[in-house]
Structure 1
Amino acid sequence: MTQRYDIYAIGNALVDTEVEVSDAFLERMGIGKGIMTLVDEARQRELVSALNSETRVHRRASGGSACNTAVAAQYFGARAFYACRVADDDTGHFFVDDLHAAGVDTNMAGDKSAGVSGKCLVMITPDAERTMNTFLGISETVGEEAVIEDQVAASRFAYIEGYLVTSPSARAAAIRLRETAKKAGVRTALTFSDPAMVQFFADGLREMIGDGVDILFCNEAEALGFSGTDNIDAAIDILRTHANALVITRGAQGARLWDGDRIIDVEPFPVKAVDSNGAGDMFAGAFLYALSQSHDFATAGRLASAAAARVVSDFGPRLPAAEHLAIRRDILGH
């Protein structure tokens, strides 16, 4: 079968609204810093109302972890498909229009169900840490119908967002995608997404991983938490029993990769970080793009490190399309 997509990704479809806040605001509102917390719509409205008096919105865009990864890969030059669920409301239509503007195909281009689309309030503190309060809305009901077998089989990678672990139907969809991809000979990748997913849903993540994935993406905190150790080398020894390769981001220390044969340390690109939101998503998107173009892990790591450094140096989880091409030229020479 002719390859149509480089990446078939599945995740929670959310419209992200990003704002700057103080640590005092998080404390006053009882918000856990540095993690994603699921909230109901009433709580999100309460937070938005409180924010209106003391902050400004930086941007509003289609989002969610795997969505950001798919858009990044697309901007680097890959072909991406994003499977999700949105409602037939203004937020849902905004999401699909924004996704299409980035060139990403989706299963939500046609009819949509009644309901409320998912939204995520992304709060950035002065230390560049991102804290998210998410109302999943209809996105948490994404199910196995989002796995389109022909499209999956025509892809190079199937990419699974760890946030799907919080919903039974979404978890089933993630498992279905992994199984469908494996049957078709398509490489599978999964990201843990957030330390809270590892802390509270480790058993569900193991269920999603099943008998293993080809590439596991995580940051160092997630790697240590999932493996129950305080040493990254020990964590790698445990994680390699779940994946054929590992990509572990380490913030200002760069990244550590295991390509199935050797450990590769990726140097960071020093920048002043102002917003860590989307760094891991960008890293995964750049990395998968490079692999889809037959580059090795070391080269993919350099491209991903450069892209992640650039995205944390400004507000927002994404970069303009032209900046991806500039980074690609600098690192890959084309």
Structure 2
Amino acid sequence: METGAAVERCEVLVTGAYFADLVFHGLPRPVRPGTEVFADGFGLVPGGAYTLAMALHRLGRRVVWSADFGTDPFSAHVLSCAGQEGLDDSAFRHHPVPVRSLTVALASGDDRAMVSFQDPVGSEPLVPLLRQLRPRMLMFPQLRSDQGTVAAVLAARELGALVVMDCHDTPATLDDPAVRQVLSLVDVFTPNEAEALALTGAGCLDEAVALLAGLVPTLVVTRGPLGATARRGGERHDAPAVPAASIDATAAGDCFNAGLVHGLLDGRSLADCLAAAAFCGAAATTGPGSGAALRAPDLDRLLGRATGR
């Protein structure tokens, strides 16, 4: 295994696997066993934690992405796209074997179904990289509660970095003490509504929000076409979704999180962070995968138009 050269301090350290997303969009109806459906379009686009790193990079943030790649064509494709975007590759780990991470996404309107596969690869401890980079923000694209993750979160807190964690359909519940522990240590948790309900076992969104907000300082629950609900202390905001000509929602959640973090790094209010996140998430749905992620001037123009500035 080879690791890239040392880097200077960054604003955001993103850790998580790449995915190569094979996106079939414009399906006239859901795919059912025993049937065939023709899509209006198809794309092979990079996804997974790539989306977070790329979307934040497009917003002008100094991002380092820690990820594993192998000798397979999917690794090569994502590495090529990362190079074209100008992503920092110094925390990439290159293995002399295939490291395949693949998702087939079937997109129909605002909804999609996905099938994924990953080759197993040993994890690397994050603590040394955190101490080297001293980022302002550490981002996890999915809920993780293993000992290595807890150690990384504790190290980030010691260094004064905020920790942002998504859920990403992780099969976990608050009945697991390890899950409760890691959530009590992160600063921002961003599940979608279905994930929040499954994680808490709650019967409604308000109950799930109350349970999770008792553990996490800042909770943001995305709700697709219904917008998002955020809770920080006694402060709650319900933000509407931004209308968009949706093609594929595969990257919407990650681009939403990128906009949220972009606002947090600027010290904006929770309501303004949600507005930035909503524009970023909506824009991502207008193209397959993550290709339509906003750039900073476009986001600034949309926010200015929304506030009349």
TM over 0.5: yes
Q: What SS is found at the alignment partner of 1:96? A: helix
Instruction: Tell me the residue number matched to 2:33.
Output: 27
Could you list the per-position Cα deviations for residues 116-157 of structure 1 after superposition, in whole angstroms to 9, with x for gaps in the alignment?
Answer: 22232332243432222211114x43332686133442x111
Report the CA distance between 1:259 and its aligned residue.
Answer: 2.5
Decide whether aligned partners of structure 1 residues 330 and 57 sit closer, same or farther in structure 2, where only a CA change above 3 A counts.
closer
Distance 1:106 1:150 in 2: 18
Instruction: Tell me the residue number matched to 2:226.
Output: 253
Instruction: Tell me the residue number matched to 1:79.
Output: 62
2:255 maps to a residue whose letter is M
Q: What SS is found at the alignment partner of 2:136? A: strand
Q: What SS is found at the alignment partner of 1:85? A: strand
Instruction: Tell me the residue number matched to 1:63.
Output: 47
Which is helix-richer, 1 or 2?
1
Decide whether aligned partners of structure 1 residues 205 and 63 sit closer, same or farther in structure 2, where only a CA change above 3 A counts.
farther
2:256–2:280 Cα contact (<8 Å) kept: yes
1:150 maps to a residue whose letter is R
Unaligned runs of 5+ residues in structure 2 are 1-7
Instruction: Tell me the residue number matched to 1:6.
Output: 11
Over the matched positions of the two proteins, sequence identity in percent amounts to 19
Report the CA distance between 1:321 and its aligned residue.
Answer: 5.4
Q: Does 1:244 align with 2:249?
A: no
Distance 1:98 1:149 in 2: 25
2:209 maps to a residue whose letter is I
Distance 2:224 2:180 in 1: 28
**RMSD between aligned alpha carbons?**
3.0
Distance 1:26 1:117 in 2: 30
> Residues 219-230 of structure 1 correspond to what in structure 2 (within 5 A)?
219-230=192-203
Distance 1:251 1:28 in 2: 29
Equivalent residues, number: 298
Instruction: Tell me the residue number matched to 1:18.
Output: 23
Report the CA distance between 1:225 and its aligned residue.
Answer: 1.3
**Equivalent residue in structure 2 for 1:144, among 122, 125, 131:** 125
Report the CA distance between 1:280 and its aligned residue.
Answer: 0.8
Instruction: Tell me the residue number matched to 1:38.
Output: none
Instruction: Tell me the residue number matched to 2:141.
Output: 161
**Equivalent residue in structure 2 for 1:99, among 73, 79, 82:** 82
Report the CA distance between 1:19 and its aligned residue.
Answer: 1.7
TM-score w.r.t. length of structure 2: 0.84
Decide whether aligned partners of structure 1 residues 62 and 327 sit closer, same or farther in structure 2, where only a CA change above 3 A counts.
same
1:283 maps to a residue whose letter is F
Distance 1:319 1:24 in 2: 24
2:69 maps to a residue whose letter is V
Unaligned runs of 5+ residues in structure 1 are 30-49, 166-170
Distance 1:200 1:128 in 2: 26
1:186 maps to a residue whose letter is A
Distance 1:200 1:211 in 2: 14
Structure 1 segments of 4+ aligned residues over 6 angstroms from their partners: none
> Residues 227-306 of structure 1 correspond to what in structure 2 (within 5 A)?
227-306=200-279
